[in-house]
Structure 1
Amino acid sequence: MSNLQRRADGWVSVAGLVGDLLVGLILPMAMALLLFFGGRGLRKLTPWGRVVGIVVGVVGLAAIPVGPILGIYILYLLLSKKGKMVFSPAYKEVMAATPEVKYKTSIWLWVVLGLVILLLLFAVFSSVM
């Protein structure tokens, strides 16, 4: 239901429209951009990507019920000793010295990802119908 309400003089309240735009459009777009660029930074192992990942992990703690689980895991990965090492200059030197070593994603991870996506699609379509 919209917050737009017609006043006694026939005009529509702009405050309701601004609130709807802020909550329904601007905040989700800002979060999507933050996640997109943060993900790119994490993928390239940049220090700012790590900071964005930590911020996303902290924000995720408030998204109940699944958010705290993912948020704690993200924070563990980025703040642990191994996480700090991966984003250090020493690790970049190792990567530059061994360009032939490439990470390959396990087939099981792709299967699990596919199942999660199918589950989410099923949930969306079943809630619409």
Structure 2
Amino acid sequence: MTLGFSPEFVPLIVNGTKIHTIRTGQRWSVGQAICFCTNEFQGELRSFRPDGVVTAVQAIRITAGPGPSVCEVDGRPLPDAELAELARRDGFESPAQLRQFFMDNYELPFVGQLVHWTTARY
């Protein structure tokens, strides 16, 4: 299945910094093939790395609150250090930047899937 990314995330995936992605819905499952693509030119998908396989899917919930963002993975609130690691591994410089991305692009609370193609887990 096609997993589309904004062009700014492509170098982070290629160099191994971004090792998972957060998606809405419940459409991803372990074992599915992943075609890593970007829609650089309106309507044209471009593959930017070899295909992969979904190695794990975890439920994720991101909320906005007074203070640091709250992020739960599989119903477990992440401690600050783990949340910082999740944000970095998802292509963001900080948990605040991750939260701002979701505030700008989705309604909070955000509920979706954390889709893995490596062995990392939370």
Structure-2-length-normalised TM-score: 0.21
Say which structure, 1 or 2, has more relative contact order (CA 8 Å, 6+ apart): 2
| The structure with more strand, counted as a fraction of residues | 2
Give the structure with the higher percent helix: 1
TM-score, with structure 1 as normaliser:
0.20
